Amino acid sequence: MKAVVMEALDKLVLKDVPDPVIDDNSALMRVEAVSICGSDVRILHRGNPRVKPPAIIGHEAAGVVVKVGKNVTRVKEGDRVALGADVPCGQCYWCRNGMGNNCEINYAVGYQIPGVFAEYMKLTQLVLEEGPVTPFAERLSFDEASLAEPLACAINGLERVNMSLGKTVVIFGLGPIGCMMIGLARTMGATKIIGIEPSEMRMKIGKQYKADEYINPSGIDVVARCRELTAGEGPDIDITACGAVEVHEQAVEMVRHRGYVNLFGGLGKDVRPMSLYSNTVHYKECCVTGSHGSVPRQHELAVSLLEQGMIQVKPLITHRFPISEIHKAFETMESRDGMKIVVHPQE
């Protein structure tokens, strides 16, 4: 089969590799769509302790099950399935209690488990028994279904801040996650949503998600403006869906008393440490938390929301490439000229 192999840092090679061989407890998925994640780009350039080159990376995917082992009951031949990233080990405290994204082993597709930038992927026994493998209906396209993985991460992010009816939410960064957060927050009962984004292209796409207010932060006091829009109180919930330390600091500064801040966007190792005045947290009695990844339950919920049309992801897919143009696909992702970049391994 054709596969994109990361042979070393900064080196992706499209080549022929042996077809995956399944056993009685595994299945074979024909990969139809793969969405490039920012973590794929980071792995390519910076590596990851869980990725040992040569390796097939990639984890946001959807495809068709084409072969199953005789003991497999989770899926059957012909099933259209969406695939997530985080795979619980199933044995530790975190995994046994439904928090597998906090597992110390932290198994993930495209990391220890060979990923999806390939024509086919082996769904191992562990992936089938513990992981996010979710069937979906024909009314949902493969491209859209591949975005269930980041949508599940967005669901996890809003669950961590106790999102509920009547909340005012500020979302910093209107990339794919930020736009999904607007849709999710509205679905979960937010009465005012404020989106903050400096990029004109991302702002234009973000406005399709119908937040109540949009702010370009260039040259203005974002904290003061958000307080003005919330009757001087500050928002109930701040989500930093971008990797800027200044934004993390603004989010804590502006949140209202007893509000929640989710530092969703991770920071690079070369970024200065966040400066946090602890008395702000102390006197506001606010909660500052984070979130990463998701669990299979959230992936199933993401697929259901997509199937029912409750969250729209079509506007986020700005570019599509055949696997033969994988380098161009990654270049487009890194240029930030688009939003979600989808690769089709069968083309």
State the pLDDT at residue 260: 98
- Average pLDDT in the 122-150 region? 98
Q: For the packed helices 176-187 and 148-159, what is the interaxial angle rounded to 10 degrees?
A: 60
For the whole model, what pTM was predicted?
0.96
pLDDT in tens, 276-310: 999 999 999 999 999 999 999 999 999 999 999 99
Average pLDDT over residues 266-279: 92
Task: Tell me what pLDDT residue 269 has.
Answer: 85
Q: Virtual CA dihedral for 76, 309, 266, 85, nearest 10 degrees?
A: 0
| 127 and 193 share one domain | no
Distance of CA 119 to the CA centre of its chain: 22
Q: Has residue 165 been placed in a domain?
A: yes
The pLDDT assigned to 221 comes to: 97
Q: Note whether 191 and 204 are same-domain residues.
A: yes
Whether residue 280 is contained in a domain is answered as yes
Clarify whether residues 272 and 314 are in a common domain.
Answer: no
Report whether 258 contacts 231 (CB < 8 A): no
17-21, 109-113, 264-268, 278-282, range with the lowest pLDDT: 264-268
**Mean pLDDT confidence for 110-127:** 98
**Does 284 lie in the same domain as 297?**
no
When pLDDT is cut at 50, 70 and 90, the band that residue 6 belongs to is very high
Looking at the fold, whether 194 and 75 belong to one and the same domain comes out as: no
Domain boundary among 289, 313, 332: 289
Q: Which secondary-structure segment (H or E) carries 144?
A: helix 142-146
Do residue 231 and residue 214 come from a single domain?
Answer: yes
Q: What's 216-263 look like in SS3?
A: CCCCCCHHHHHHHCCCCCCCCEEEECCCCHHHHHHHHHHCCCCCEEEC
Residues 224 and 179 in one domain: yes
Task: Flag whether pLDDT at 268 surpasses 90.
Answer: no
- The pLDDT of residue 168 is 98
Instruction: Return the CATH number at 176.
Output: 3.40.50.720
How many domains are there within the chain?
2
In a domain, 156, yes or no: no
Domain boundary among 259, 289, 319: 289
Residue 10 has pLDDT above 90, yes or no: yes
Contacts within 8 Å (CB) and 24+ apart, 103-111: 106/50, 108/50, 108/59, 108/293, 109/58, 109/59, 109/61, 109/83, 109/84, 109/85, 110/40, 110/43, 110/51, 110/56, 110/57, 110/58, 110/59, 110/85, 111/48, 111/50, 111/51, 111/57, 111/59, 111/85
In this structure, the answer to whether residues 85 and 106 fall within a common structural domain is yes
Token reading at 236: 């109930």
Let me know if residue 307 belongs to a domain: yes
- The two tokens of residue 91 are 């044995």
Range of the domain at 266: 161-289
Q: Is-contact 148 306, C-beta < 8 A?
A: yes
Query: And the tokens for 274?
Result: 């966040």
Do 266 and 307 fall into the same domain? no
- Neighbour count for residue 70 (Cβ, 10 Å): 7
Instruction: Please report the sign of the dihedral spanned by the C-alpha atoms of residue 230, residue 233, residue 238, residue 240.
Output: positive
- Confidence at residue 53, expressed as pLDDT on a 0 to 100 scale: 97
Q: Which of 219, 161, 163, 216 is nearest to 194 (CA)?
A: 216
How many residues would you count in the chain?
Answer: 347
Using CA atoms, how far apart are residues 172 and 192, in angstroms rounded to an integer?
Answer: 14
Asked if residue 6 belongs to a domain, the reply is: yes
Whether residue 268 is found in the same domain as residue 308: no
* Pairwise CA distance, residues 300 & 241, whole Å: 22
Same-domain check for residues 130 and 169 = no
Please give the structure tokens belonging to residue 277.
Answer: 């005045």
**Using CA atoms in the order 340, 237, 267, 59, what is the torsion angle rounded to 10 degrees?**
-40
Query: Residue 18 is part of a domain; what is its CATH number?
Result: 3.90.180.10
Asked if 66 and 170 sit in the same domain, the reply is no
**Considering 269, 289, 309, which residue would you say is the last residue of a domain?**
289
What integer best gives the mean pLDDT of the chain?
97
Instruction: Answer whether residue 142 is part of any domain.
Output: yes
Q: What is the pLDDT of residues 42-68, one digit of tens each?
A: 999 999 999 999 999 999 999 999 999
The answer to whether 235 and 255 are in contact (CB under 8 A) is yes
Question: What's the pLDDT score for residue 234?
Answer: 98
